């Protein structure tokens, strides 16, 4: 009866337009369906038969494949809103979700933006301003100094004020370039000398940045939820330290690292910040946490995060539903003490990318076979995806295939289920990162919770090479492969036999080529085996085919668009010099020369799309 | 010589029964069990016994020499070239210890140009290893393997005689012949005897054509007259970098036409699988080639008297293929990969493509449906005709051209000859226009494909995935050419030509072209016109294609159709 009342009193919108695609659009549509709200999908022409389009009640094509022409095309999306009469817009994440102009235009037409108000987006969108606001709201920020430092002694004084270790670099230098770490006064003097010289010579700007250095940093974020009446809650943390190139790969909630006091302190600071900017809707406050559990504000994301499902798992809240309610103007249904941590949830991001190339370079293709591991015995597996068998993973959009979330009463249970789910995930047609994910979640360091944002480069200093088999597993693999081989041989002789599926434990046969080679997926990693003693013996007589000399040609390592071509025929390039830039799936990749040489020919133009392995430039 | 040795051997063997058993390990290649039946000769004297011993020693010595081939030095040289010896090849190709060798004792009969001397030096060597009752996956076949380490594998009269003998045997019992070719060419020292040998082989190739499958695997040089034997067989496979096929070598080419060309360019695996279309597939190396050949063999029936083989199937025959629902792009000008459709539909994605690099705008090859071998023919929209590459902008999808018609026709005829059902996937906008094609005889060559489909009496199932325009619609195993089951996907368009061209003709000189075009598309760019006339049997959901093909094949296995009696048809060659 009470439930009924709540439902009745929660009348929100009749129709919502989802200005996004892929899994997040599907995710939002699911909640809308649950709440009895009509949905409108927008899509580009290539997405016209995408899953989110099929799921929605109505769909409007807003342009061609490039995101700037479709999902970022505000005019077309505004038209779609008018045509369909949607009362509110859920922006998902990415695209227009943190675009203040879009929020303004919606407000001007009286359409509700399901997200925070424009001023909060504006305030948190600027890195420097957001830090100032956070500081003012008594949120821990990374202590530091940015300005002209005249002498080494001055630098030492600043460093002592901040507290060691400190990081010194030229203000003008981007990223970690020219960064020096000092653990004491002497190292500070040395760092000052180098950095000030570099600042002067390289950038002509002698300002220095001296900042607290965070050792073994962890990326831990707090989910907040606020309404338009000044109420705000923190929904516990998410541990997102496993990253590659600043993109998260595996997330979990809660974190193994935080104690209740730290959690509470972080939560309260996050809520302070939300209140300081009159935040409403769901948002995320990101912190860096050092090895001594000191935490520092990084930034605030004013949208629904990719990894929100793990928070939903442990708190039991539907964040999208809460966002819609808040957008309609309702007060929060919960109090801080109502927010539990029930069990443990882990999310793995399944990407269409090759983990053997710098932990993941995008790959594209058509999903010729696709089965989500939802048929497992336990029900605590959630897969958020926006694709199906036959879908195309194209160069235009994010290469994420799905988010695989497992839940358990304990972390061990959640991890075991994740392992099982990863082993039972069938993806064919594109290269995917399941092998890497499986290695991460079974790695002793990960299991013990000893992780930081440097986890991947530390554990795999030479890059990811797939699962390394120990003797026992190796024998298990060989036994499975031999059984498979015999099965195939016997079958050709019309003898009765077991179907190959009975023979495998944690493995599957991917391809079997006629030349006696079997490709097996075992413990997530692909293994090639030659299965006949005679064939292996005679193979030793076969000459190695001389591979193409790759130092004088540049091939595209991935499918994408040529953004810039920095050389022309006749130019001389130095080793390491940029030759061209390929953009694929929101990522720009600079391709460099591996030796000094003269450019013989250029085979592509900026703006052209190229496939993996396509010849770009020939050197002499 | 042969008769004599058999007689002696028989007597001796009975006497020394124990001995022969004891040495049976060494004799595994021998076929000497038959004389045991001649029990009347059992009572022997010691005189014979002594004779037997010496003969026995000679037998052993000859066998040892035969197994050694051209000697260790030459075997090493063969390995160094990245090639296996004739015996290693056989070992890899056939089931372990399943073969029976004959004619191990045959030797060449030439004594000119120092050959006699040579013969003495290396004693007598089998120049070609020939196996009798060989087994691959428990199926019997006949096979010969030329030994390059003996006189460079050159063909002598005796060598040819051995090959002819097994071909005759194969014809008698109805089992396939596999030739592993590695021969320098004719034995010049023997002159006309060698040439006669070639002709004898050619004749048998022709007589066996369409009766038993014949496969040639070129594993070394194959030049001059020798090339015609592989050319007459059903399939010619090559090994990359180590095999060559040409009528005359680079030296002669240089002296006659003044062209500078390498062996590889002139007749290497790449040339023949992508330019000339002489070879059907090229493999990485000997091991790859032999194991692939082994696999390929499992698709074939033993002879034209046998039905298409059925293997136990681990892929449910009623599996729905959901990925096919979206494979044909909505824009009718956009390409997609027909291979993906084929691999998704057939058993376990297992598709043995024939000529994957030649006339790529048509895909042909073998696969299985619910375990039964089928031949697949499909237009490949992903690849423009070879000629299109020079045109800009290239037309977005493929037409049938000369090369693809011939490739398709030969494949269809093989399937028809050996009772292999044919499944055809159609997406073809017509025949390729242009002077190059017309001058090249597209009419004559296109007619081959038409002829092949029309005369085929095996079960024929056709699926129109998208375009089926004009004459090409008729050709591609249409209902009118006795297609047994013809299906259309909802994306199918069966019409005389594309909307634009049609409207230009129907409404010539009229202004409202765009409107007329839309009307034409509405009327014809869908499967209905064909379906209402019964030219397609049903419009099916793409995901059900596998299920339907499998159940239809089950029914069609009982199909019996006979063409009118004729000496042979006159296909437009």
* Max Cα–Cα distance, chain A, nearest Å: 86
Interface test with A, best of B242, B282, B312 (most A CBs within 10 A): B312
**Tens-digit pLDDT profile for residues A504-547:** 445 566 666 555 567 777 777 777 776 677 777 787 788 777 66
What's the total number of domains in chain B?
A: 2
Percent of chain B at pLDDT exceeding 90? 43
Is residue B32 very low, low, confident or very high in pLDDT (cuts 50, 70, 90)? very low
Interatomic CA distance for residues A328 and A281, integer angstroms: 10
Q: Are residues A407 and A451 part of one domain?
A: yes
Nearest to A375 by CA among A424, A423, A417: A424
Which chain A positions have a beta carbon within 8 Å of B137's beta carbon?
489, 492-493
Interatomic CA distance for residues A282 and A271, integer angstroms: 11
CATH code, domain carrying B276: 3.90.226.10
Q: Which of B220, B224, B378, B470 is catalytic?
A: B224
Lowest mean pLDDT across A22-26, A302-306, B114-118, B341-345: B114-118
Residue B306 lies in a domain: no
CB–CB contact A390 B322 (8 Å): yes
Nearest CB among B138, B324, B343 relative to A493 is that of: B138
Is residue B129 very low, low, confident or very high in pLDDT (cuts 50, 70, 90)? low
Residue A179 lies in a domain: yes
- Please tell me the predicted confidence (pLDDT) of residue B50: 53
Q: Using an 8 Å Cβ cutoff, are A291 and A125 in contact?
A: no
Q: Are residues A223 and A122 part of one domain?
A: yes
DSSP B215: E
Q: Are residues A403 and A380 part of one domain?
A: yes
- Rounded to 5 degrees, what are φ and ψ at A115? 170, -175
Between B124 and B369, the more confident residue is B369
Q: Are residues A59 and A102 part of one domain?
A: yes
Q: Which of A299, A389, A413, A476 is catalytic?
A: A299
Helices A152-162 and A185-198: crossing angle, nearest 10°?
Answer: 120
Is residue B533 very low, low, confident or very high in pLDDT (cuts 50, 70, 90)? very high
- Please tell me the predicted confidence (pLDDT) of residue B120: 32
- The residues of B whose Cβ lies within 8 A of any Cβ of A are 79, 82-84, 88, 91-92, 96, 137-138, 241, 283-288, 291-292, 294-296, 298, 311-312, 314, 322-327, 330, 340, 343-344, 349, 352
Does B82 qualify as catalytic in the annotation?
A: no
Residue A545 lies in a domain: no
- Please tell me the predicted confidence (pLDDT) of residue A478: 81
CB–CB contact B292 A489 (8 Å): no
Nearest CB among A368, A494, A515 relative to B323 is that of: A368
Q: Are residues A356 and A271 part of one domain?
A: no
Which chain B positions have a beta carbon within 8 Å of A65's beta carbon?
none
- Please tell me the predicted confidence (pLDDT) of residue A88: 95
**Section A594-619 average pLDDT:** 81
CB–CB contact B325 A390 (8 Å): yes
**Section A236-244 average pLDDT:** 93
Left if phi > 0, otherwise alpha if psi is -120 to 50, otherwise beta: which for A595? beta
Beta bridge partners of A347: A251, A405
Q: Does A367 touch chain B (CB under 8 A)?
A: yes
Q: Best-predicted range by mean pLDDT among A504-513, B105-114, B193-202, B366-375?
A: B366-375
Helices B46-68 and B2-15: crossing angle, nearest 10°?
Answer: 120
- Please tell me the predicted confidence (pLDDT) of residue A576: 72
**Tens-digit pLDDT profile for residues B268-299:** 999 999 999 999 999 988 988 998 898 898 89
| Tokens describing residue B123 | 């004693």
Interatomic CA distance for residues A346 and A328, integer angstroms: 31
Domain that holds residue A401: 344-464
Q: Does A161 touch chain B (CB under 8 A)?
A: no
Q: Are residues A110 and A154 part of one domain?
A: no
CATH code, domain carrying A296: 3.30.470.20
Q: Using an 8 Å Cβ cutoff, are A156 and A188 in contact?
A: yes
Which chain B positions have a beta carbon within 8 Å of A532's beta carbon?
291
Is residue B106 very low, low, confident or very high in pLDDT (cuts 50, 70, 90)? low
Final residue of a structural domain among A540, A568, A591: A540
Q: 3-state class of A468 per DSSP?
A: coil
DSSP B323: G
DSSP states of B474-506:
HHTT-GGGT-SEEEE-TT-EEESS-HHHHHHHH
Q: Are residues B336 and B277 part of one domain?
A: no
Across chain B, mean pLDDT equals: 81
Q: Are residues A399 and A312 part of one domain?
A: no
Interface test with B, best of A514, A532, A533 (most B CBs within 10 A): A514
Q: Using an 8 Å Cβ cutoff, are B163 and B203 in contact?
A: no
CB–CB contact B287 A515 (8 Å): yes
- Rounded to 5 degrees, what are φ and ψ at A192? -60, -45
Interatomic CA distance for residues B186 and B193, integer angstroms: 9
B497-506 contacts at long range (C-beta below 8 A, 24 or more positions apart) = B497/B430, B497/B469, B497/B470, B498/B429, B498/B467, B498/B469, B499/B524, B499/B525
Q: Using an 8 Å Cβ cutoff, are A290 and A284 in contact?
A: no
Interface test with A, best of B93, B240, B291 (most A CBs within 10 A): B291
**Tens-digit pLDDT profile for residues A587-600:** 677 777 777 788 88
Q: Are residues B470 and B391 part of one domain?
A: yes
Q: Does A375 touch chain B (CB under 8 A)?
A: no
Is residue B346 very low, low, confident or very high in pLDDT (cuts 50, 70, 90)? very high
**Section B4-21 average pLDDT:** 31
Interatomic CA distance for residues A210 and A188, integer angstroms: 10
Q: Which chain A residue is nearest to residue B288, measuring alpha carbons?
A: A515
Question: Is B16's pLDDT higher than 50?
Answer: no
Does B456 qualify as catalytic in the annotation?
A: no
CB–CB contact B92 A370 (8 Å): no
Which chain B positions have a beta carbon within 8 Å of A498's beta carbon?
none
Q: Using an 8 Å Cβ cutoff, are B509 and B515 in contact?
A: no
Burial state string for A584-619 with b = 16 or more CB within 10 A and e = fewer than 16: bbebebebebbeebebeebbbeeeebbebebebbeb
Across chain A, mean pLDDT equals: 85
CA distance A275 to chain B (A): 48
**Section B191-208 average pLDDT:** 91
Distances in Å between the alpha carbon of B560 and those of B457, B555, B557? 8, 11, 9
Torsion of CA B497, B502, B504, B510, to 10 degrees: -170
CA distance A399 to chain B (A): 19
Domain that holds residue B275: 81-298
**Section B535-551 average pLDDT:** 95
CB–CB contact A515 B284 (8 Å): yes
Residue B506 lies in a domain: no
Q: Are residues A325 and A233 part of one domain?
A: yes
Q: Are residues B221 and B145 part of one domain?
A: yes
Residue A381 lies in a domain: yes
| Tokens describing residue A490 | 């016997």
What's the total number of domains in chain A?
A: 6
- Please tell me the predicted confidence (pLDDT) of residue A516: 58
Left if phi > 0, otherwise alpha if psi is -120 to 50, otherwise beta: which for A607? left
Q: Are residues B249 and B290 part of one domain?
A: yes
pTM above 0.95, yes or no: no
Nearest to A350 by CA among A416, A425, A417: A425
Question: Is B510's pLDDT higher than 90?
Answer: no
Lowest mean pLDDT across B30-44, B361-375, B460-474: B30-44
CA distance A562 to chain B (A): 21
Question: Is B147's pLDDT higher than 90?
Answer: no
Lowest mean pLDDT across A280-284, A608-612, B411-415: A608-612
CB–CB contact A368 B285 (8 Å): no
Q: Which residue has the tokens 């368009």?
A: B493
| Tokens describing residue A594 | 């591996």
Q: Are residues A239 and A190 part of one domain?
A: no
Q: Using an 8 Å Cβ cutoff, are A93 and A305 in contact?
A: yes
**Section B44-49 average pLDDT:** 49
Interatomic CA distance for residues A25 and A27, integer angstroms: 5
Between B522 and B127, the more confident residue is B522
Q: Does A391 touch chain B (CB under 8 A)?
A: yes
Distances in Å between the alpha carbon of B181 and those of A110, A282, A457, B65, B162? 81, 73, 53, 22, 14
Which chain B positions have a beta carbon within 8 Å of A533's beta carbon?
none
Residue B13 lies in a domain: no
Lowest mean pLDDT across A312-321, B39-48, B168-177: B39-48
Residue B501 lies in a domain: no
Q: Using an 8 Å Cβ cutoff, are B151 and B132 in contact?
A: no
DSSP states of B438-469:
HHHTHHHHHHHHHHHHHH--S-EEEEEEEEEE
Nearest CB among B288, B325, B343 relative to A515 is that of: B288
Q: Are residues A337 and A350 part of one domain?
A: no
Q: Which helix (H) or strand (E) holds B409?
A: helix B402-417
CA distance A496 to chain B (A): 8
Residue B467 lies in a domain: yes
Residue B30 lies in a domain: no
CB–CB contact A542 B286 (8 Å): yes
Is residue A3 very low, low, confident or very high in pLDDT (cuts 50, 70, 90)? very low
Is cis: bond before B393, omega within 30 of 0?
yes
CA angle, B328 then B331 then B332, to 5°: 75
Interatomic CA distance for residues A463 and A440, integer angstroms: 13
Q: Does A492 touch chain B (CB under 8 A)?
A: yes
- Please tell me the predicted confidence (pLDDT) of residue A398: 87
Residue A45 lies in a domain: yes
A344 CB contacts (<8 Å, ≥6 apart)? A252, A253, A254, A314, A407, A408, A409, A410, A411, A413, A414
**Section A563-592 average pLDDT:** 77
Does B220 qualify as catalytic in the annotation?
A: no
Residue B239 lies in a domain: yes
Interatomic CA distance for residues B122 and B70, integer angstroms: 8
**Section A75-93 average pLDDT:** 95
DSSP A200: I
Beta bridge partners of B130: B102, B144
Q: Are residues A511 and A446 part of one domain?
A: no
Exposure of B308 by Cβ count < 10 A (0-12 exposed, 13-18 middle, 19+ buried)? buried
Q: Are residues B290 and B341 part of one domain?
A: no
Q: Are residues A61 and A134 part of one domain?
A: no
CA distance A315 to chain B (A): 36
Beta bridge partners of A251: A347
């Amino acid at each position: 009866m009470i439930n009924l009342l709540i439902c009745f009193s929660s009348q929100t919108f009749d129709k919502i337009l989802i200005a996004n695609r892929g899994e997040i659009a599907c995710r939002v549509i699911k909640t809308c369906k649950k709440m009895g709200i009509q949905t409108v999908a927008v899509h580009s022409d290539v997405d016209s038969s995408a899953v989110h389009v099929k799921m929605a009640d109505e769909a409007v094509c807003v342009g061609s494949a490039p995101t700037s022409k479709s999902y970022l095309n505000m005019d077309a999306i505004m038209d779609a809103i008018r045509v369909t009469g949607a009362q509110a817009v859920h922006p998902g994440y990415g695209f227009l979700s943190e675009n203040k102009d879009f929020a303004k235009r919606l407000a001007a037409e009286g359409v509700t933006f399901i997200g925070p108000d424009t001023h909060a987006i504006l305030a948190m969108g600027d890195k420097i301003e957001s830090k100032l606001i956070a500081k003012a709201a008594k949120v821990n920020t990374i202590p530091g100094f940015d300005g002209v430092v005249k002498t080494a002694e001055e630098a030492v004084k600043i460093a002592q004020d901040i507290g060691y270790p400190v990081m010194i670099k030229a203000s003008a230098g981007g990223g970690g370039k020219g960064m020096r770490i000092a653990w004491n006064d002497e190292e500070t003097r040395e760092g000052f000398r180098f950095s000030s010289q570099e600042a002067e010579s390289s950038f002509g700007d002698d300002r220095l940045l001296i900042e607290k250095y965070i050792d073994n940093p962890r990326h831990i974020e707090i989910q907040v939820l606020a309404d338009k009446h000044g109420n705000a809650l923190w929904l516990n943390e998410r541990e997102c330290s496993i990253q590659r190139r600043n993109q998260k790969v595996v997330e979990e909630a809660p974190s193994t690292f935080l104690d209740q006091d730290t959690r509470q302190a972080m939560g309260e600071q996050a809520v302070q910040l939300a209140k300081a900017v009159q935040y409403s809707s769901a948002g995320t406050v990101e912190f860096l946490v050092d090895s001594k559990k000191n935490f520092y504000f990084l930034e605030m994301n004013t949208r629904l995060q990719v990894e929100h499902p793990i928070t939903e798992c442990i708190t039991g809240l539907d964040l999208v539903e809460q966002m819609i309610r808040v957008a309609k103007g309702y007060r929060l249904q919960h109090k801080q003490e109502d927010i539990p941590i029930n069990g443990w949830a882990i999310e793995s991001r399944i990407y269409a990318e090759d983990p053997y190339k710098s932990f993941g370079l995008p790959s594209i293709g058509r999903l010729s076979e696709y089965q989500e591991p939802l048929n497992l015995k336990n029900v605590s597996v959630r897969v958020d995806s926006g694709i199906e068998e036959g879908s195309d993973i194209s160069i235009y959009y994010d290469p994420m295939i799905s988010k695989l979330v497992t839940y358990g009463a304990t972390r061990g249970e959640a991890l075991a289920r994740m392992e099982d789910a990863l082993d039972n995930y069938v993806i064919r047609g594109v290269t995917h990162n399941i092998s890497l994910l499986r290695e991460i979640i079974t790695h002793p360091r990960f299991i013990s919770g000893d992780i930081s944002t440097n986890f991947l480069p530390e554990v795999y200093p030479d890059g990811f090479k797939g699962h390394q088999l120990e003797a026992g597993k190796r024998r298990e693999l060989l036994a499975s492969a031999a059984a498979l081989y015999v099965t195939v041989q016997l079958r050709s002789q019309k003898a009765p036999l077991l179907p190959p599926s009975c023979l495998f434990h944690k493995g599957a046969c991917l391809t079997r080529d006629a030349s006696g080679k079997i490709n097996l997926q075992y413990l997530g990693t692909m293994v090639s085996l030659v299965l006949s003693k005679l064939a292996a013996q005679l193979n030793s007589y076969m000459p190695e085919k001389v591979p193409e000399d790759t130092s004088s040609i540049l091939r595209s390592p991935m499918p994408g668009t040529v953004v810039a071509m920095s050389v022309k025929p006749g130019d001389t390039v130095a080793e390491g010099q940029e030759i061209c830039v390929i953009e694929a799936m929101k990522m720009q990749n600079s391709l460099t020369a591996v030796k000094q040489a003269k450019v013989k020919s250029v085979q592509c133009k900026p703006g052209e799309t190229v496939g993996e392995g396509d010849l770009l430039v020939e050197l002499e | 010589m042969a008769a004599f040795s058999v007689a002696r051997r028989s007597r001796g063997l009975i006497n020394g029964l124990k001995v022969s058993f004891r040495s049976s390990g060494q004799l595994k290649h021998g076929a000497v069990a038959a004389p045991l039946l001649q029990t009347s000769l059992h009572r022997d004297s010691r005189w014979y016994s002594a004779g037997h011993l010496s003969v026995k020693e000679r037998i052993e010595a000859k066998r040892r020499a035969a197994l050694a081939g051209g000697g260790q030095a030459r075997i090493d040289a063969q390995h160094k070239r990245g090639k296996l010896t004739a015996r290693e090849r056989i070992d890899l190709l056939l089931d372990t210890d399943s073969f029976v060798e004959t004619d191990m004792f045959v030797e060449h009969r030439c004594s000119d140009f120092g050959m006699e001397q040579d013969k003495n030096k290396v004693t007598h060597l089998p120049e070609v290893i020939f196996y009798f009752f060989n087994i691959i996956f428990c199926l019997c076949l006949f096979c010969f393997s030329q030994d390059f380490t003996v006189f460079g594998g050159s063909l002598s009269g005796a060598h040819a005689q051995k090959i002819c003998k097994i071909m005759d045997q194969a014809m008698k019992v109805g089992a396939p012949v596999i030739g592993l070719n590695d021969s320098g060419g004719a034995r010049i020292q023997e002159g006309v005897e060698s040439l006669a040998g070639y002709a004898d082989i050619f004749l048998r190739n022709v007589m066996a054509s369409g009766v038993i499958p014949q496969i040639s695997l070129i594993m070394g040089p194959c030049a001059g007259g020798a090339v015609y034997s592989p050319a007459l067989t059903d399939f010619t496979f090559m090994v990359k970098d180590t095999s060559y096929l040409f009528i005359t070598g680079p030296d002669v080419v240089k002296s006659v036409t003044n062209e500078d060309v390498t062996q590889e360019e002139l007749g290497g695996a790449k040339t023949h699988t992508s330019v000339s279309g002489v070879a059907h597939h090229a493999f990485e190396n000997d091991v790859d080639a032999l194991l692939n050949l082994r696999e390929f063999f499992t698709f074939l029936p033993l002879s034209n008297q046998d039905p298409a083989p059925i293997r136990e199937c681990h892929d449910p025959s009623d599996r729905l293929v959901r990925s096919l629902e979206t494979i044909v792009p909505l824009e009718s000008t956009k390409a997609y990969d027909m291979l993906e459709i084929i691999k998704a539909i057939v058993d376990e994605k297992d598709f043995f493509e024939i000529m994957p690099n030649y006339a790529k705008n048509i895909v042909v090859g073998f696969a299985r449906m619910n375990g039964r071998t089928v031949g697949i023919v499909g237009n490949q929209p992903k690849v423009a005709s070879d000629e299109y590459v020079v045109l800009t902008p290239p037309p977005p999808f493929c037409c049938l051209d000369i090369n693809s018609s011939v490739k398709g026709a030969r494949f269809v005829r093989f399937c028809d000859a050996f009772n292999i059902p044919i499944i055809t996937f159609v997406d073809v906008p017509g025949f390729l226009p242009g002077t190059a094609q017309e001058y090249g005889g597209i009419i004559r060559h296109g007619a081959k494909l038409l002829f092949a489909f029309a005369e085929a009496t095996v079960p024929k199932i056709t699926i129109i995935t998208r375009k089926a325009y004009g004459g090409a619609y008729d050709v591609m195993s249409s209902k009118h050419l006795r297609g047994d089951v013809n299906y259309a996907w909802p994306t199918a368009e069966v019409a005389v030509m594309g909307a634009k061209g049609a409207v230009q003709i129907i409404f010539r000189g009229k202004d409202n072209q765009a409107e007329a075009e839309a009307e034409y598309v509405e009327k014809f760019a869908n499967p209905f016109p064909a379906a209402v006339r019964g030219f397609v049997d049903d419009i099916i959901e793409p995901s059900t294609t596998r299920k339907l093909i499998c159940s239809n094949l089950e029914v069609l296995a009982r199909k019996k159709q006979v063409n009118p009696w004729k000496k042979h048809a006159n296909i437009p060659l």
